[in-house]
Amino acid sequence: MTSRKESSARNAAIIIVGILLAMIAWGFYRGASRPDSRRIAEMEQASQEQAVRDANQRDVALVRQLIGENLDERRFQFATVMNAASDKLVLPLGPAQPSHRRVLDAINASLTRATEVLSREGSPAREHRRINEVSRHFEDALQRDLDATEGLSCSIPTTREGKEQRSGYPDLRVVDEASGDVFYLDPKLVEEDSWDSSFRTFYFEPKKENLKINDDAVHLLVGIGHDGKSGEWTFGPWKVVDLSKITLRLKPEFQASNRDLYPKE
> What pLDDT, in 10s, does the model give residues 100-141?
999 999 999 999 999 999 999 989 999 988 888 899 999 999
CATH number at residue 141: 3.40.600
Is 17's pLDDT higher than 60?
no
In-domain check, residue 28 = yes
In-domain check, residue 260 = no
Give the pLDDT confidence score for residue 197 in this predicted structure.
83
In-domain check, residue 259 = no
In-domain check, residue 255 = no
Distance between CA atoms of residues 57 and 29, nearest Å: 42
Least confident of 2-6, 7-11, 53-57, 232-236: 2-6
Task: Give the domain range for residue 29.
Answer: 2-65
pLDDT band at 193 (very low <50, low <70, confident <90, very high): confident
Same domain, 135 and 219: yes
CB proximity list for 170: less than 8 A, separation 6 or greater: 157, 184, 185, 186, 212, 213, 219
Tens of pLDDT, residue by residue over 142-160, are 999 999 999 999 999 999 8
Same domain, 92 and 221: yes
Same domain, 87 and 58: no
Find the mean pLDDT for residues 59-79: 84
Give the pLDDT confidence score for residue 173 in this predicted structure.
97
Given a contact cutoff of 8 angstroms between Cβ atoms, the answer to whether 93 and 103 are in contact is: no
Same domain, 113 and 196: yes
Least confident of 50-59, 152-161, 185-194, 227-236: 50-59
- Total count of domains within the chain: 2
In-domain check, residue 164 = yes
pLDDT band at 64 (very low <50, low <70, confident <90, very high): confident
Same domain, 55 and 175: no
Is 43's pLDDT higher than 90?
no
In-domain check, residue 149 = yes
User: Taking the model in full, what pTM does it have?
Assistant: 0.75
Q: Residue 134 class from Cβ within 10 Å (0-12 exposed, 13-18 middle, 19+ buried)?
A: buried
CA angle 220, 221, 222 (to 5 degrees): 120
Helix (H, G, I), strand (E, B) or coil at 221: strand
In-domain check, residue 211 = yes
